[in-house]
Structure 1
Amino acid sequence: MIYATVAAMVARFGELEIVQLTDRDNIPPSVVDVARVETKLADASAFVDGYVGQVYQLPLLGCAKPDGAGGVSYVPPPVLERICCDLARYYLHDDLAPENEVYRRYKGALRELDAVASGQAMLACPWGGSPGVPLSADAQSGGGDTYHQFSSRSITDDSMRGFA
């Protein structure tokens, strides 16, 4: 699932910034390089999946958002759309100083993803419901009620006879 669109990037950061980040030719009229933005959004979505996939089955189902006509459409959780936009914006920049706002937002997005992956935060749908199916705890993650039963060993002088 791609968590954000080019339109979401333009709405959040303005068309001028997205044009400046993507138009490599700088020949008027300058326009948003949609393919470049979509590539960075796909990269960011894959990165997000690396964290979210530790907690939810992928692909996420999405949040059921009422469409106003009595139906629903499934959309990414709003927090993931924002995080994906912040990551894609960071990816579109070639060179950033650590004190730059874009870099700070990138680091903030990483902290939020860490919190989701570790179970300290959860994804929520503002319209109710769950954005996906939580993974059940398994033996590898150390959670859940996993029990193993092993047969008892019976090592005696007689059973060890013949081994040197």
Structure 2
Amino acid sequence: MPEMPYASVQDMIERFGEVELVQLTDPDQRAVQPQRAQRALDDAQAFANGLLAQAYRLPLAGCRKPAPTPQNPRATVQVAPPQLVRIVCDVARYYLYDELAPEHEVALRYKAASAELRAIADGKAQLTCPWGGAPGETLASGALGDGQVYSHFSPRQVTDEAAGSYR
């Protein structure tokens, strides 16, 4: 299963405004440079995956969001959990800034996003799908072997007598 993007450049524009993204991505201040914003999003997703992998089997399946159409009123689309979209956008935004005071709103949101990811990784919080279902398989419930031990110890092959002077 291919990895779904957790957030897009458009998600960042909707959350933080086009003016801010132009300022952060284009030295000439003309337009959002999607390549630079996407690089920050890719880095933020890798950071998130590094922590999520402690709690979820990757890649995540995603949430089934209703997307009715006139032809199919029961249609759905796979999307990232909304809280993960927010987290990844906050981390990517932080990555786009060169210098920030620790008390700056962007730095504080980055710290909160990092703490939330660590809580998910530690099993103190979890990703949720507001439309029902689960965004992916948790390792606690689907880890290799489901708690069974897959090792076998053979009986001792070397006896005291055979070891001789190596004891």
The TM tier, using the shorter chain, reads 0.7 to 0.9
Q: Show the 5 A alignment for 1:84-103.
A: 84-103=88-107
Residues in 2 aligned to 1:57 and 1:154: alpha-carbon distance in whole angstroms: 39
Residues in 2 aligned to 1:163 and 1:66: alpha-carbon distance in whole angstroms: 70
Determine if the alignment matches structure 1 residue 120 to structure 2 residue 124. yes
- SS of residue matched to 1:7: helix
Which deviates further from its counterpart, 152-161 or 87-96?
152-161
Determine if the alignment matches structure 1 residue 73 to structure 2 residue 80. no
Q: Give the fraction of aligned pairs with identical amino acids, expressed as a percent.
A: 51
Residues in 1 aligned to 2:64 and 2:6: alpha-carbon distance in whole angstroms: 14
Count of aligned positions: 158
Amino acid aligned to 2:128: A
**Alpha-carbon distance, 1:16 to partner:** 1.1
**Alpha-carbon distance, 1:153 to partner:** 5.0
- 2:39 match: 39
Residues in 2 aligned to 1:31 and 1:161: alpha-carbon distance in whole angstroms: 80
CA contact (8 A) 1:138 1:146 kept: no
Amino acid aligned to 1:22: T
Residues 101-120 of structure 1: CA distance to partner in whole angstroms, max 9, x if unpaired?
00000000110000111111
**Alpha-carbon distance, 1:163 to partner:** 4.5
TM-score (norm 1): 0.85
Q: Show the 5 A alignment for 1:122-141.
A: 122-135=126-139, 136-137=142-143
Residues 90-138 of structure 1: CA distance to partner in whole angstroms, max 9, x if unpaired?
0010000101000000000110000111111111100011111222346
- 1:13 match: 16
For the structure 1 residues 9 and 157, does the alpha-carbon distance in structure 2 shift closer, same or farther, using more than 3 Å as the test? Answer: closer
Gaps of 5+ in 1: none
Gaps of 5+ in 2: none
Amino acid aligned to 1:99: E
What is the CA RMSD across the aligned residues, in angstroms?
2.3
TM-score (norm 2): 0.83
